[in-house]
Structure 1
Amino acid sequence: MPQKTARRAGRRATRRFTRRDIAVLGVLLGIPVLLDIVIVWGPALASVGLSFTSWDGIGDIHWVGGDNYENLVQDYPAFWPAVRHNLLWIAFLGLVATPFGLFLAVLIDRGIRFSRFYQSVLYMPVVLSLAVVGFMAQLLLGTDQGVVNTILNDPHDPVDWLGDSDINLWMMMLAASWRHTGYVMILYLAGLKSVDPALKEAAAIDGANERQTFFRVTLPTLRPVNVIVGVITVIEALRAFDIVYAVNKGRNGLELLSVLITDNIIGEASRIGFGSAIAVVLLGVSLGFIVTFLVQELRGAREK
C-alpha cells in the first residue's frame, strides 16, 4: 500500500501538460515575446543594418560600409559634446540624485512624523514627463519673468540659466534629478521594508552603531534593489531627450545623443543611415554600462 501511494504521488507530480495547457502557455508566452521582437529587437537590429547604409527614407538604400561611423567620429562636431553631456548626465544621476533618493528613503523608513505626506510629495514628480519638467524649468529659470530671477531681484541683468552654455546643462540635470530622486526613493523604501529586523537587532547586540549597521548590514541586503536602481539610472540618463528638447531643442550646450538621432532621422535633411549610426553608438554605450554593472553586482552576490 505505501508503494502504491508513492507511485500515485509520483504520477501526480509528473503529470504531463495537455494540449490545451501547452496552447495556453504558448499564447501567454508567445505574444509578449513576439511583441518584444517586433517593437524592441526588430527596430534595434534594423538600426544596426541601416547604420552601414546611406538612405533618406524615400529613395534607394546605398551600402556605404563604415563611412557613417567614420564621419560621425571625425567630421560631426556635435558628436563628442553630446557624448560628454550624456556621460555627465549618468554621473550626476548616479552620484547625486541616486544617493539623495536613498537618503530620503532611510529617513522616511525611520518613521518620522508626516512620513506619508513626505513620501507622496517626493514621489509626485515621478508622474510628470520630462517634457513637463522642462516647461516647468522654463517658468522657473526664464530670463523674462522667471521665478528665480524675480526672487534675485535683478531685472536689468538677469542670469540666463537656460541660454548660457556653461550652466544650462547643470540646470537641466538638476531638474531631471528632481524627478529621478522620487523614483529612487520609492524603490529603496520598498527594499528597506523587506530587510529583516532581526539582522539589525543582531548588529546592535554586537555593538554596531547606526552607521555601521546601515553600511555593513542593511546596504548589502539591498543588493537586488541596487541592481534595479543602477540599471534604471543608466537608462534614464541615456534616454534623456524631451527635457532638453522642450527648452531649446537640444542646442547651445544641451546636445545629447538622443537629440542628434532625432535631428538626423526626422530632421529637415533626413539621414536615416547616419542617424542609425548614432543610435547604435547609444545602444552600445547603454549596453556597456548595464552589462558591466549587472556582472559586477551578480559576481559580488555570488561571492557572498
Structure 2
Amino acid sequence: MSQTVSAPPAATRRRRRRLRTLSRRDVVVATLMLGVPLLLDLAFIWVPALASVFLSFTKWTGVGSITMKSCADLPSAPGIPQPGCLYGVQNYHQAFTNYPDFWPAVRHNALWLAVFLLLATPLGMLFAVILDRGIRGSRIYQSTLFLPVMLSLALIGIIWELIYSPNYGLINTLIGHNHNDNLIDWLGNPRLNLWALLVEASWRQAPYVMVLYLAGLKAFDPALREAAVVDGANPWQTFWRVVFPALRPINIVILVVTVIESLRAFDLVYITSNGNPLRGLELLSVAVTQNIVGETQRIGFGSTLGVVLLVISLVPISIFLWQAFRREEQR
C-alpha cells in the first residue's frame, strides 16, 4: 500500500526561501566581518612571514633596493655598498657554521623549554589540583597566583631586576651579600643570568598553566573520580590513572603553548640587558632582533634566523592541528 507524502505548506516554503536568500545588507556585513580580519591577518602575519622567507635568501642591509641578480655577479668596489642581492642558502650555511651565537642560542632555548616542562608545568598543575579541591579561600589564592599573568613581561623584568639588584635587591639583602666585597651579580654573571631569568619566566608561566589545567579539571566528570574511589584507588592513583588521561586535550594545548613561549622569549632578556647583548643570554629571538635592528642591520641574515625560529615553532603547531583533526575524524 503506497503512501503519499504531502508537500509542505506554502508558509513553510516561503520561510525556507527567506532563510536561503541573503539581502544585500547581509552580504556586506558578512563580507566585512570575514574580509577585515582576513586582510589584517594577511597584512600582519602572512605577508611579513613570506617576506622574511624571501629576504633570508638575500644579502640586504635595509638600505637600497633588492636586485634579483646573484651577489657574485655584482661588481664590488671598496667603500661602495652593494645593493641587496640574492645570496642563496649561504645565510643558512653561515648561521649553522660561522655565526658564534647560533648554537648557544639554540641550547639556551632548549634549556628554557626544559625548565618550562620540568618546573613551571608541574608547578602549575599542582596549583590547579590544590585549588580544584575547593579549599577555603581558593578564590583569593587563584587571583593571587594569576596576578603575574596579568602583568606584561616588560614590567615583570623591571620587578625582578629590582629583586636581583646587587646592592639593594631583596635576594642579596636576605642572604647577606649586599656589600661591595661579597656582591652577587645575578644578572651580570654569565653563569647565573640565564638561570635568574628562568626563575622570572617560570614565575609567570606556572600560573598560566594553572589556569589551563584548572579549566580542564572543572570540566572533568566527577562520576569518574567517584567510581575510581569506589574501586579502591587512592588519590594519587585516581589522578594519574583516571583524571590525567582525560586531560589529554589540555596537555596538548599546554605543550604547544610551552614550546611557543620558550621560543619567543625576548622581553625579559631585552629588559635585563637594556637592549645590549650579554654573554649567557643568547636566544634565537634576541639574535633575530640584534641582526635586524642592531648596529649591523643585516636584514637578510636576521630574516634567516627568523625563518629557522618559524620552522621550529611550526613543529608543535602542526602536531596540535594533527591531533585536533584526528579527534574530529574519530567522532
Length-normalised TM-score, structure 1: 0.92
Partner of 1:282: 309
- Deviation of 1:290 after TM superposition, in Å, equals 2.8
CA separation of 1:101 and 1:202: change in aligned 2, threshold 3 A: same
Residue in structure 1 matching 2:290, options 250, 263, 268? 263
Partner of 2:79: none
Counterpart of 2:182 in 1: which secondary structure? coil
- Deviation of 1:150 after TM superposition, in Å, equals 1.1
Residue in structure 2 matching 1:136, options 138, 159, 167? 159
Looking at structure 2, the residues matched to 301 and 163 of structure 1 have their Cα atoms a distance apart, in angstroms, of 50
Task: Check whether the contact 2:59–2:86 (CA below 8 A) recurs between aligned residues.
Answer: yes
Counterpart of 1:263 in 2: which secondary structure? helix
- Structure with max Cα Rg: 2
Range 45-54 or range 197-206, more displaced:
197-206
CA separation of 1:96 and 1:298: change in aligned 2, threshold 3 A: farther
Task: Check whether the contact 1:134–1:243 (CA below 8 A) recurs between aligned residues.
Answer: yes
Instruction: Give the AA of the match of 2:223.
Output: A
Partner of 1:26: 31
Range 10-19 or range 166-175, more displaced:
10-19
Partner of 1:96: 119
Partner of 1:226: 251
Counterpart of 1:261 in 2: which secondary structure? helix
Counterpart of 1:65 in 2: which secondary structure? coil
1:1-304 alignment runs, 5 A limit: 3-5=6-8, 15-20=19-24, 21-61=26-66, 62-154=85-177, 155=179, 156-248=181-273, 249-292=276-319, 294-295=321-322
Instruction: Give the AA of the match of 1:82.
Output: A
- Deviation of 1:227 after TM superposition, in Å, equals 2.3
Could you give the per-residue CA deviations for residues 89-147 of structure 1, whole angstroms, max 9, x where no partner exists?
11111221011101100100101111111101100001111122222221111212211
Looking at structure 2, the residues matched to 162 and 300 of structure 1 have their Cα atoms a distance apart, in angstroms, of 45
Could you give the per-residue CA deviations for residues 240-261 of structure 1, whole angstroms, max 9, x where no partner exists?
1110111113411011111111
Looking at structure 1, the residues matched to 125 and 102 of structure 2 have their Cα atoms a distance apart, in angstroms, of 33
- Deviation of 1:226 after TM superposition, in Å, equals 1.8
Instruction: Give the AA of the match of 2:173.
Output: T
Task: Check whether the contact 1:83–1:257 (CA below 8 A) recurs between aligned residues.
Answer: yes
RMSD: 2.4
- Deviation of 1:211 after TM superposition, in Å, equals 1.7
CA separation of 1:86 and 1:301: change in aligned 2, threshold 3 A: farther
Partner of 2:75: none
Could you give the per-residue CA deviations for residues 1-58 of structure 1, whole angstroms, max 9, x where no partner exists?
9733489768856842414334332221222122111111110000000000011112
Moved over 3 A (4+): 5-15, 19-23, 292-304
Looking at structure 1, the residues matched to 212 and 197 of structure 2 have their Cα atoms a distance apart, in angstroms, of 23
Looking at structure 2, the residues matched to 162 and 230 of structure 1 have their Cα atoms a distance apart, in angstroms, of 28
Range 217-226 or range 267-276, more displaced:
217-226
Looking at structure 1, the residues matched to 53 and 228 of structure 2 have their Cα atoms a distance apart, in angstroms, of 52
Contiguous gaps of at least 5 residues in structure 2: 67-84
Looking at structure 2, the residues matched to 214 and 206 of structure 1 have their Cα atoms a distance apart, in angstroms, of 14
* Greater fraction helix: 1
Identity in percent: 51
Range 124-133 or range 19-28, more displaced:
19-28
Instruction: Give the AA of the match of 1:288.
Output: V
Q: How many residues align?
A: 304
Looking at structure 1, the residues matched to 135 and 16 of structure 2 have their Cα atoms a distance apart, in angstroms, of 50
Looking at structure 2, the residues matched to 142 and 65 of structure 1 have their Cα atoms a distance apart, in angstroms, of 46
Could you give the per-residue CA deviations for residues 152-198 of structure 1, whole angstroms, max 9, x where no partner exists?
11322122211221221111011101011111111111111111112
- Deviation of 1:289 after TM superposition, in Å, equals 3.0
Looking at structure 2, the residues matched to 82 and 42 of structure 1 have their Cα atoms a distance apart, in angstroms, of 26
Looking at structure 2, the residues matched to 247 and 74 of structure 1 have their Cα atoms a distance apart, in angstroms, of 28
